[in-house]
Amino acid sequence: MLFEKITLIDENFDVKENMFVATEKDKIAYISQLPPQKDYGQKICGKNKLLTNGWFNCHTHLPMTLLRGYAENLKLQDWLNTKVFPFEAKMNEEDVYYAALLGIAEMFRFGTVSATEMYFHPLSILEAAKKAGIKLNLCTGTTEFGDGGLKDNKNFNEELDLHERCSKMGNDKIKADFSLHSEYITTEKIVKELGEYLKGKNERVHVHVSETKKETDECIARHGLTPTAYLEKCGIMNAKVNAAHSVWLTDEDLSIYKANGVTAVHNPMSNLKLGSGFARIEKMLEMGINVALGTDGVASNNNFNLFEDLRFAAIMHNPLNENYSVINPKTLVKMGTLNGAYSQDRCDCGCIKEGNKADFAIYDLNEVSMKPCHNLLNSFVYSMPGGAVLMTVVDGEIVYGNGKFTTIDIDDVIRKTEQSRKRILSEI
C-alpha cells in the first residue's frame, strides 16, 4: 500500500504534510516527501487525510462491553458488588468471546491497534483477538480469596497456559502477561509467591494499583504499607509492572515507580466516572515515569474511543495544577501510542517510522470539527471526533476501512451479544 501526499504525525510527534508512506507486509517500508521508485501496490490518495500511529489502550476489560450502560451513578465498591460481580458471574466462555469481539471492533472503529487486557475466560479472548487481528497483551486478573498457594491458583495456571499458547503462535502479536487483580482481592501469600516466581524472569505484571482512596487506606491498615510499597515488598517489582489507575500515590510510591520502571496507566474517564480521584500525571511526567493511557472496561467509561480519554487527560488536571503545559498535545499523543507500546514490550511499534510495524489510523481532515485549523496537533487532540477514522491498519492489514470491519462479522457479533445480554439478565 502507498499513501500519496498524506499528512502524518512522525516519530518525533511533529506534523509533516505531503508525505509518501508505503507499507510492505507488516512493516512501514518507506516514508519520504518524494514518491518511491519501487511499486508498493495499491495507491491511496492522502489528500485531506491524516496518518498517525494507532492507539495503544493499556488497561481494558474487553468483554465488559456486555455491561455497557448496565450500572450507572454508583461509587466503585457499590458498582462492583451490587451490579458488576453478579452480572459477570453469569458470563460464560461464549459470552466472553463475542463481547470481546464487540470491544475489539469498537477499538478498530476508533483507531486503536493494541490493548493490554485483563479478564476471565482468557482463552475466549485469545481466540477473539486472533480472529480480529488486534495486538494484545493478555492476562486474567489473578484473584485469591482462600489460603491456596500460587501453583494451585486457577488464574496463574491459566496464565502459564497462555504463555505456552502465545509462544507457539510464531509471532508476538498476542503476548501473555502475568497479573494480580489488585492487593484487595489477593492474599499476601500468593503475591509473595508470584514475586518469587518472577525473580530473574523478564515478565510483565498487570495490576490495579491505588485506584481509590478506600483501597489505599485499607491496604495501609492491613499491611502498614501503601499498595505500591506492599507490591515492592512482596517482590512484584521483580517484573516489569503495568499499574492501572495509579491514582492515590505518595511521593515514596512515585519514587518506587521511577526506580523500577513501572508504567502508570492513566484511566481518566473511569477515574472521573467512579469518583476515584485525580492521578498525579504531571508529577509522573516531570519525574520521567512512563505514563500510558487506558479506557478501563466500558462499564466505567462507557466506550473504547481512546480520544475521549486523551481529551479528559488533557483538561481534567487543570484545576489542580499551576502549570498547564506539562500535559500538552505532543505528550498526550505519545502517551496514547509510544508509551503504550513500551509498556507492552513492543519496541518496533508506537510511532510512524520506517521499519516499524505498520500500525496506524487514517483520519478525515475534512471533518467540520477540524475547521479552521490553526495547529493540526492541537486540533487532533482537542477537536478530532473519534468517528473521523477512515481506516485502521494492524501489522499492515486493514482491519477497518470504508465503514466495514474486514475480520469481524459485526452483525453476527451484535446479534450474539444481544442474546447474551438478555440471557444473563434473565438469570440474575
**R_g (Cα) of the chain, nearest Å:** 21
Burial of 330 (0-12, 13-18, 19+ CB in 10 A): middle
User: What angle do the packed helices 410-427 and 93-109 form, to 10 degrees?
Assistant: 130
If one counts every other C-beta atom within 10 angstroms of the C-beta of residue 226, the result is 22
**Cβ of residue 110: shortest distance to Zn ion, in angstroms?**
19
Say if residues 115 and 137 touch (Cβ distance below 8 Å): yes
In this structure, which long-range contacts are made by residues 78-87, counting pairs with CB atoms below 8 Å and at least 24 apart in sequence?
Answer: 79/274, 79/299, 79/300, 84/299, 86/428, 87/424, 87/428
Question: Which CB atom, from 242 or from 392, has the smaller least distance to Zn ion?
Answer: 242
DSSP conformation class of 262? P
Question: Which CB atom, from 183 or from 296, has the smaller least distance to Zn ion?
Answer: 296
DSSP conformation class of 88? H
**Cβ of residue 295: shortest distance to Zn ion, in angstroms?**
9
Question: Which CB atom, from 253 or from 296, has the smaller least distance to Zn ion?
Answer: 296
Question: Which CB atom, from 308 or from 395, has the smaller least distance to Zn ion?
Answer: 308
Question: Which CB atom, from 109 or from 208, has the smaller least distance to Zn ion?
Answer: 208
**Cβ of residue 417: shortest distance to Zn ion, in angstroms?**
20
Question: Which CB atom, from 282 or from 296, has the smaller least distance to Zn ion?
Answer: 296
**Cβ of residue 207: shortest distance to Zn ion, in angstroms?**
10
Residues from 6 through 35 that contact Zn ion (CB under 5 A):
none
DSSP string, 166-184: HHTTSSSSEEE-EEES-ST
Interface with Zn ion (CB under 5 A), residue total 1
State how far the Cα of 198 lies from the Cα of 202, in Å rounded to an integer.
8
Question: Which CB atom, from 87 or from 360, has the smaller least distance to Zn ion?
Answer: 87
Of 48-56, 64-72, 290-298, 357-365, the segment contacting Zn ion by CB under 5 A is 290-298
Burial of 345 (0-12, 13-18, 19+ CB in 10 A): middle
Question: Which CB atom, from 62 or from 388, has the smaller least distance to Zn ion?
Answer: 62
Question: Which CB atom, from 7 or from 179, has the smaller least distance to Zn ion?
Answer: 179
State how far the Cα of 245 lies from the Cα of 265, in Å rounded to an integer.
6
Residues in the chain: 428
Residue nearest to Zn ion (CB): 296
State how far the Cα of 115 lies from the Cα of 226, in Å rounded to an integer.
27
- Bridge partners, residue 240, by sequence: 204
Say if residues 115 and 57 touch (Cβ distance below 8 Å): yes
**Cβ of residue 231: shortest distance to Zn ion, in angstroms?**
16
**Cβ of residue 293: shortest distance to Zn ion, in angstroms?**
13
**Cβ of residue 340: shortest distance to Zn ion, in angstroms?**
15
Residue holding cell 497483551? 137
Cis preceding linkage at 302, omega within 30? yes
**Cβ of residue 180: shortest distance to Zn ion, in angstroms?**
12
Question: Which CB atom, from 296 or from 309, has the smaller least distance to Zn ion?
Answer: 296
Beta strands in 148-227 (DSSP E): 174-176, 178-180, 204-209
Say if residues 54 and 10 touch (Cβ distance below 8 Å): no
Q: How many separate helices (H) and strands (E) can be counted in the chain?
A: 16, 18
Of 48-56, 142-150, 288-296, 385-393, the segment contacting Zn ion by CB under 5 A is 288-296
State how far the Cα of 186 lies from the Cα of 67, in Å rounded to an integer.
24
**Cβ of residue 296: shortest distance to Zn ion, in angstroms?**
5
**Cβ of residue 99: shortest distance to Zn ion, in angstroms?**
15
Per-residue mark of binding to Zn ion, 291-330 (x: CB under 5 A): -----x----------------------------------
Of 156-164, 274-282, 289-297, 386-394, the segment contacting Zn ion by CB under 5 A is 289-297
Chain residues in the site for Zn ion (CB under 5 A): 296
